[in-house]
């Protein structure tokens, strides 16, 4: 069940669609979203690193609809804080409250959306190094945690020579 409030639906979907940390999504400014290039610029995240993440065309459409309806000013997601941005507590509350409306019995939190993103990309064949960069991990061993969770198609062990030789005969 998706949240009924547009802002809540968009913020949770953005986290899930781009593998963002909670802190990253609340720190997004409108100017960080590039609709032309279909990317989002994540600035000074964990380890004070910047990175660019893809913005799904579907997510871009939803963000445009949200921005037209909510008219955010500087921050993509306005909040009640004096600085005008959404708080991490508020974001966690949104997740908890919307989980109560579902039949999900597992322990789920905001970070679960990031894990889901990473696992799906691995299952779809994305290489681990690219995933490391998308997630903004400093160390590949952090990213490798997802390998044991992902249900990847296993390829029968074989010699590359047989594959190459087979191509040459055709």
CA pair distance 165, 170, nearest whole angstrom: 9
Is 146 among the residues known to form the active site? yes
Instruction: Report pLDDT for 168.
Output: 57
Instruction: Report pLDDT for 117.
Output: 94
Q: Which position among 66, 85, 86, 114 bears the catalytic label? A: 114
Instruction: Report pLDDT for 21.
Output: 95
Both tokens of 128, joined, read 């681990």
Instruction: Report pLDDT for 147.
Output: 75
* Domain residue limits, the chain: 6-148
Is 41 among the residues known to form the active site? no
pLDDT in tens for each of the 170 residues of the chain? 577 899 999 999 999 999 999 999 999 999 999 999 999 999 988 878 899 999 999 999 999 999 999 999 899 999 887 678 899 999 999 999 998 888 888 888 899 999 999 999 988 989 999 999 999 999 999 898 877 777 767 667 767 777 677 665 55
Q: Which position among 64, 96, 101, 111 bears the catalytic label? A: 111
Instruction: Report pLDDT for 65.
Output: 97
Is 137 among the residues known to form the active site? yes
Q: How many CB atoms are located within 10 Å of the residue 90 CB? A: 16
Q: Which residues pair with 29 in a beta bridge?
A: 75
Q: Which of 104, 106, 118, 169 is nearest to 148 (CA)?
A: 118
Instruction: Report pLDDT for 28.
Output: 96
Is 73 among the residues known to form the active site? no
Instruction: Report pLDDT for 141.
Output: 92
Is 48 among the residues known to form the active site? no
CA pair distance 41, 32, nearest whole angstrom: 5
Is 86 among the residues known to form the active site? no
Q: Which residues pair with 51 in a beta bridge?
A: 42
- Residue 99 has phi, psi (to 5 degrees) of -65, -35
Instruction: Report pLDDT for 166.
Output: 65
Q: Which position among 9, 21, 120, 170 bears the catalytic label? A: 21
Strands of the sheet containing 33-34, edge to edge, are: 33-34, 39-42, 51-54
Question: For the structural domain made of 6-148, what CATH number should be given?
Answer: 1.10.443.10
Contact of 54 with 20, CB cutoff 8 Å: no
Any idea what DSSP says for residue 75? Answer: B
């Amino acid at each position: 069940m998706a949240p009924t409030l547009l802002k809540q639906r968009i913020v949770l979907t953005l986290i899930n669609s781009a593998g963002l940390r909670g802190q990253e999504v609340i720190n997004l400014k409108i100017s960080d979203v590039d609709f032309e290039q279909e990317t989002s610029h994540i600035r000074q995240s964990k380890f004070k690193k910047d990175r660019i993440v893809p913005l799904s065309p579907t997510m871009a459409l939803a963000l445009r609809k949200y921005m037209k309806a909510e008219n955010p000013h500087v921050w993509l997601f306005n909040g009640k804080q004096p600085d005008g941005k959404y708080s991490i507590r508020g974001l966690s509350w949104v997740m908890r409250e919307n989980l109560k409306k579902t039949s999900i019995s597992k322990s789920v939190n905001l970070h679960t959306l990031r894990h889901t993103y990473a696992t799906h990309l691995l299952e779809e064949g994305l290489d681990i190094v690219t995933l490391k960069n998308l997630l903004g991990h400093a160390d590949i061993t952090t990213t490798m945690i997802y390998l044991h969770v992902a249900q990847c198609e296993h390829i029968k062990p074989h010699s590359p020579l047989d594959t190459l030789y087979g191509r040459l005969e055709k």
